[in-house]
Amino acid sequence: MRDGRESRQRYYRHPLPVRIAHWLNALCLFVLLLSGLQIFNAHAALYWGAASDFDDPWLSIGATLTPEGPRGRTEVLGRSFDTGGVLGTSGDAAAPEQRAFPAWLTIPGPRWLAMGRRWHFFFAWLLVINAAFYLAWSTASGHLRRLWPGRVDWRRLGPSLRDHLLLRHASGEAATRYNILQKLAYLAVIFGLGPLIVLTGLCMSPRIDTVLEPLLDLFGGRQSARSLHFLAAAGFVLFALVHVFQVLVSGPWNNLRSMITGHYDYRAAPGNRRRENRDDRP
């Protein structure tokens, strides 16, 4: 919007490699999550330790028989919740199907562990290759440095937190840079959740375990690795929810376009025009 003092500036925010990696990543995480839930459904209980103590899972999804038929129940840390219709039992209300996660949340929809594993392992490779490509490119190009918080960033932590809570979003030049909460969130995913989910996944392989014993011990055993893998996936879901929410409340079309074409519009004060789009370091 032009009001005489401000002007719309088009800024090249996301270089092509970032855009490709972003959408491949979104595709992989989507498929991995849903095929992962298919795999989880084959034994809908999680444990700590090396082996499964079938009497004492910390999380389990099942069903109990009621006079009206089976009713889904989820037990977490000893508490029991009625989750019929979604978790434990789902589908046709008159004759619900007994399964942990419902058909609309799994790939493939029907109970089909073998096919869920096929999808999971293919997209796991795609995710890892994409992540390696992204890390190599962003290290070589200096993109990773843009994500790294500097001293100035840390000083903005408080104000940035307040702005996010009040849903106040930068629309001027600041919108062309990552803010401190963004940087922390992305770094936590790239160097925290990402490696955690890959390594806990590998530690579920009996063959890989023959050479990764120290890592398996670090996670607390194979069943702990399976639990952590599930929790890391939940972490990714949380990240994706917050991420999409932030995209929606800070100009969805502008954001979406910038992740497709690379171009982002922002309001610039007159006389403060950027000389070169790419030079955006604070």
User: Per the structure block, which two tokens stand in for 256?
Assistant: 């979406």
Q: Which stretch binds other proteins (CB under 8 A): 4-12, 120-128, 172-180, 232-240?
A: 120-128
The residue (of 186 and 236) whose beta carbon lies closer to other proteins is: 236
| Consecutive H or E run containing 267 | strand 263-268
Residue 1 interacting with other proteins (CB under 8 A): no
The residue (of 111 and 156) whose beta carbon lies closer to other proteins is: 111
CB atoms within 10 A of CB 225: 25
Residue 218 interacting with other proteins (CB under 8 A): no
Residue 114 interacting with other proteins (CB under 8 A): yes
CB atoms within 10 A of CB 173: 16
Determine the number of helices (DSSP H) and then strands (DSSP E) in the chain: 11, 8
Instruction: Give 53-109 as a DSSP string.
Output: -TT--SEEEEEEEETTEEEEEEEETTEEEE-TBTSEEES-SSS-EEESS-GGGSSSS
Cα gap 181→156, rounded to integer Å: 9
Residue 191 interacting with other proteins (CB under 8 A): no
Q: Which of 50, 140, 167, 174 binds other proteins (CB under 8 A)?
A: 50
Residue 264 interacting with other proteins (CB under 8 A): no
Q: Which of 29, 45, 199, 232 binds other proteins (CB under 8 A)?
A: 45
Residue 122 interacting with other proteins (CB under 8 A): yes
Cα gap 227→221, rounded to integer Å: 10
Residues that bind other proteins (CB under 8 A): 31, 34, 39-40, 42-43, 45, 47, 50-54, 104, 107-110, 112-115, 117-119, 121-122, 125, 202, 204-211, 213, 216, 222-223, 226, 248, 252-253
